[in-house]
Amino acid sequence: MKTPLFTQIIHFLFILFLTSENLYASNVVRYISNINGLTNNSVNCILEDSENTMWIGTWDGLNAYDGREITTFRYSKSDPNSISNNIIRQIIERKNCLWIATDNGINRLDKQTYQITRYYLRKDNKIPYQEKSFILAQSAGSEIVCFVKGVGFFIYP
């Protein structure tokens, strides 16, 4: 005996409903913002490093998200180990270090020790007068290339 079309459709929709709920549960997205630790909701750049840490550059600092907690890095006038500026424009990973372009220089962050080295890349090593003065790239040979507006290129082997 044939099953009426209406009954077949109801069974199909019931099964679809059960499986789609399970699919939704496996694709839950985690939402992070400044409410739970992000320094700012205005994000300029994102990098997932080789250890699966998400590095998020905002208008108010650098954030490292490991899937559980957020570690923040901000400029501090009294701390020479802080990043050179809170406006993060670009992040590149090379070996165990991150290279971070800010509005006031380039920073190299050692991911093991969290030691930060600042590079202003000017002849007088002073803070630049313009924002967006620094652009980072990585060459095919894994060198870090930095362009500084009005100065030129710097290459870090």
11-41 confidence digits (pLDDT tens): 666 565 555 555 545 556 777 888 888 999 9
The parts of the chain modelled with pLDDT lower than 50 are 24
Rounded CA separation 48/65 (Å) = 9
Q: What is the pTM of this model?
A: 0.76
* Residue given tokens 């093991």 in the structure block: 112
pLDDT of 146 = 87
Q: Are the C-beta atoms of 106 and 91 separated by less than 8 Å?
A: no
Token digits for 27? 């694709």
